[in-house]
Amino acid sequence: MSAGAAARTREILAAARAIVTGSHIVYTSGKHGSAYVNKDAVYPDTAHVAELCRDLADAAASHRPEIVCGPAMGGIILAQWTGHHLGLPAVYAEKTAEGGMALRRGYDKLVAGKRVLVVEDVLNTGGSVREAVGAVRAAGGDPVVVAALVNRGGVTAADVGVPALVALLEVELDAWDAATCPLCRDGVPVNTDVGKGREFLAKRSR
């Protein structure tokens, strides 16, 4: 990814106050850390979302996708805007009761036999996008590339099972298992405004 795209992505995230630092965060993966990329703070600004997705489209265009797919929920917005910039249809994968993700609503038929760009907002462990990639394959699609706004976990293409992965911004953030979290040890209050802090505290109080 170009230095210019990375710098602009960081600028947009900073303007939206989407980068939270100096806090006690519980991530979706269950790990804890001191910082968080709150992509939800960016989504209300449609001009900035459109700009970010134009850069995602540019980064993925060389892989010649024929349709765009994102995991629900945040990936829906990114898939729509990225598809718009590429002139391609966009669909989304959603959680199933059994776990994992699936393409429903007739989207499986749209994906079948197509080269698919899978988009994601923030890659932490890559779990959600890996499930979306699996849903695409189960529907007969060919996931050729994953494109993300931010890769904060050092996630690779091999980690999510695709030939290529691109991200507008690469950042390194601390991540500890809950049992060894130094913030828990030091009694730093858990942030319940972003991440999964509220759910973590609810489980701990049972």
* pTM for the predicted model, two decimal places: 0.88
pLDDT of residue 192: 95
SS (H, E, C) 59-78: HHHHHCCCEEEEECCHHHHH
Q: What is the pLDDT of residue 138?
A: 96
Q: What is the tens place of the pLDDT at every residue in 124-169?
A: 888 889 999 999 999 999 999 999 999 987 899 999 999 999 999 9
The amino acid at 159: D
Please give the Cα distance from 133 to 28 (Å, whole number). Answer: 18
Cα(141)–Cα(88) distance, rounded to whole angstroms?
15
Model confidence band, residue 1 (pLDDT cutoffs 50, 70, 90): low
* In the predicted structure, residue 2 carries a pLDDT above the cut 80: no
Torsional class of 112: left (φ above 0), alpha (ψ -120 to 50), beta (otherwise):
beta
Range 31-36 average pLDDT: 90
Query: Reduced to 3 states, what is the DSSP secondary structure of residue 114?
Result: coil
Separation of first and last alpha carbons in the chain: 45
Instruction: Check residue 65 and give its pLDDT.
Output: 98
Mind listing the domains of the chain with CATH numbers? Answer: 3-204 (3.40.50.2020)
Mean pLDDT across the stretch 64-79?
94
Q: Which is more confident, 35 or 108?
A: 108
Q: In b/e form, how buried is each residue of 91-115, taking b as 16+ CB within 10 angstroms?
A: bbbbeeeeeebbbeeebbebbeebb
